[in-house]
Chain A
């Protein structure tokens, strides 16, 4: 029943490891996002895919690689994890709509809390 679901909910790993986070949405939206929320609750966009095409790629280290196999799924793979990667990663989705073509508000998953030790 969950609209935007992410797995895993918690991820604890050591520096240098590679890990993946998965996201799925059942809202029929055509755009999906990865946001990073730091310890001060500041939400910052990382990537966005529209109809499986990468359209936003903020200044994120290339150790982070998103992949969208279809419109309903967006995964995030992180190589060589660093201490500074510890944060909560949120997946979100929206729909491009309207005659003048604007994006609907974002719908978020409940986040993946990544801790790198």
Chain B
């Protein structure tokens, strides 16, 4: 079993939809949770960064962490075609090693 599981998709939604992306993990030592967005032929860029359980909101993006279920989510409201990208969840225990999910490919259709 991988440490971090993420459905690779692809996920296709119409413009304006609410998108829900999820990851599960097995290592209870993870405390720092991140979502990265990666456009084609570019490096991953940090979208959201949360510590421990709870919610964090930034514009149209909301990250949720449920440590008791070992489950994290990213919600995108009012999705736009420019949101079409691969979304990678990532997590660490605070040390030097960050573990990534496989990434979910998202397509937002105009």
Interface string of B21-55 (1 = CB under 8 A from A): 00000000000101010100111111001000000
Whether the pair A111, B43 counts as a contact (CB closer than 8 A) is: yes
B92 at the interface (CB under 8 A from A): yes
B85 to chain A minimum Cβ distance, whole angstroms, is 11
- Interface of chain A residues 82 through 101 with chain B (CB within 8 A): 90, 92, 94, 100-101
Whether the pair A56, B97 counts as a contact (CB closer than 8 A) is: yes
A92 to chain B minimum Cβ distance, whole angstroms, is 8
Contacts of B88 on A, CB cut-off 8 Å?
41, 43
Question: Majority SS of interface residues in chain A?
Answer: strand
A20 to chain B minimum Cβ distance, whole angstroms, is 19
A50 at the interface (CB under 8 A from B): yes
Contacts of A103 on B, CB cut-off 8 Å?
32, 92, 94-96, 98
Contact of A105 among B41, B46, B95, B103 (CB under 8 A): B46
In this complex, what residue of B is CB-closest to A109?
B43
Whether the pair B94, A108 counts as a contact (CB closer than 8 A) is: no
Contact of A42 among B34, B41, B100 (CB under 8 A): B100
Binding site for B on A (CB under 8 A): 4, 31, 40-45, 48, 50, 55-56, 90, 92, 94, 100-103, 105-111, 113
Q: Sort A-B residue pairs by CB-CB distance and give the 8 closest, nearest first.
A: A108-B43, A102-B94, A43-B100, A41-B103, A110-B43, A105-B46, A108-B44, A105-B49
